[in-house]
Amino acid sequence: MSLQHIISSEELDIITIYDIIKNQKKLKLSEESESKIRACKFYLDNRLVKDKNPMYGINTGFGSLYNVKISDKDLTILQENLVMSHACGTGDRVPESIVKIMLLLKIQSLSYGRSGVQLETVNRLIEFFNNDVFPFVFTQGSLGASGDLAPLAHLALPLLGKGKVVHNESIYEANDILKKFNWKPIKLEAKEGLALLNGTQFMSAYGIYLLIHSHKASYLADIIACISLDAFDGRLDPFHDLVHSVRPHPGQRKVARRFNELLKGSEIIEQEKEHVQDPYSFRCIPQVHGATKDTLDFVEKVIMTEINAVTDNPNIFHEEDLIISGGNFHGQPLALALDYLKIAMAEIGNISERRVFQLVSGLRGLPAFLVDNPGLNSGFMIPQYTAASIVSANKQLATPASVDSIVSSNGQEDHVSMGANAATQAYTLIKNVERVIAIELMNASQALEFRRPLTTSPLLETFLEQYRTYVPFIKVDQVLHDDIEASIQFLKDFEIEIEELFINNYGVEKH
């Protein structure tokens, strides 16, 4: 396997990005990409010599200062001032895993030769990526419209020897890290600051990270819901393929088929049932989990289009002798997709908590709160409270960020996407979903023990055997926080290759 990825005109996809990050592959520009970058820069330099008319962001001010013409001798100062003045993010630091994806996506966007940057600038970003030099980027400050201005300004600051970075878990002043690697600060030229700051790489990087985690959570939610169904002595009839053939949403059909596969050989599912119907949280799992899978498919298509696009402004078309100021930095496609992702993943948590509620309610032969001697022992009463609290918080986080807009830059930037807020909300929300399904696993595995000596399917018994190395059967009251945290850790540690996730979630390989 090659430990290098060549940046070229070939489109990035989520599996490629996962492979680059997981296997710590180094980046290198293809000859084609280098040629495009050089040609665009050559055209821009010549255009500046020949054409003294104002060109937005190249020899003018920014935002509502678009009419202020800047002299040629001040163009470097203009671009460096832009980066410094826009580096006003605040809040928490963006996780390094997401900053690394931001670097990759910014490099990819600049490689198309539509941005007018120096080859040296792109190669320095590649050196940051290859040497795990991660600029301090902050979660708050982007309106998701003129690009992710504040986050991308912080991403660009170390090119100038300013700001802070993390390298090998140590914090450095940017100027010190440049000296460590014997790099000189980049002297930005016309348009470069704007090319670095305009773009949607903050939102997109979060989107990539969250898609990967959502795919895994969606897959694990199916497995855990299977265990809950058996623990609740549920029926398999609602998962019959004929039911879903007459309403053939792809995700719905996939979930129903998966349940039949996972529960094959279960003594519990095959035993005669006293009840003729299950609550919706069990009976409608294919419809709810499946709709989320279909949403993930849609969100992925939006994000894949975005990361293989040029999202700065203005765009340079040197073959046509045109420099055009447009709005490709506007994050509306991502804002809507990330809001949709939030809603879809929140529903995985919502229905999971309802199954937890059913399991602890003393129904179908299970003891109240899944413990012997209830009363003396509170058992699993309060983990359901915890799940309910998290689910309620997610309902608030799932409120669409994209329906909001605040005028900025003296009214020049009068509609913004708020996609960056959607991205950071989605990050918190999906971490919450991982916690809720971990609580369901803890409850379902506990409930299943009260069905012994009957067993669930061999596949699920193997899964539970692995889980029991983290969390044992609980006989009497103890500090359940520790068991919840151990359950969360088990799901984090549970390994499945992303190619398998796509096959398991969609039934097809994705490229």
Element (H, E) at 93: strand 90-93
311: which residues sit within 8 A by CB, 6+ positions away? 109, 147, 198, 199, 200, 201, 328, 329
280 classed as catalytic: no
Do 397 and 377 form a contact (C-beta atoms < 8 A)?
no
Six token digits for residue 305: 């289009």
Q: Distances in Å between the alpha carbon of 164 and those of 26, 63, 94, 187?
A: 22, 27, 13, 18
Question: For residues 238 and 228, what is the distance between their CA atoms, to the nearest angstrom?
Answer: 15
The position carrying tokens 């699993």 is 380
- Alpha-carbon dihedral of residues 36, 38, 39, 45, nearest 10 degrees? 140
Catalytic residue among 56, 66, 172, 470: 56
Do 94 and 362 form a contact (C-beta atoms < 8 A)?
no
Question: For residues 339 and 197, what is the distance between their CA atoms, to the nearest angstrom?
Answer: 23
Six token digits for residue 134: 């991660």
62 three-state secondary structure: coil
| Active site (catalytic) residues | 56
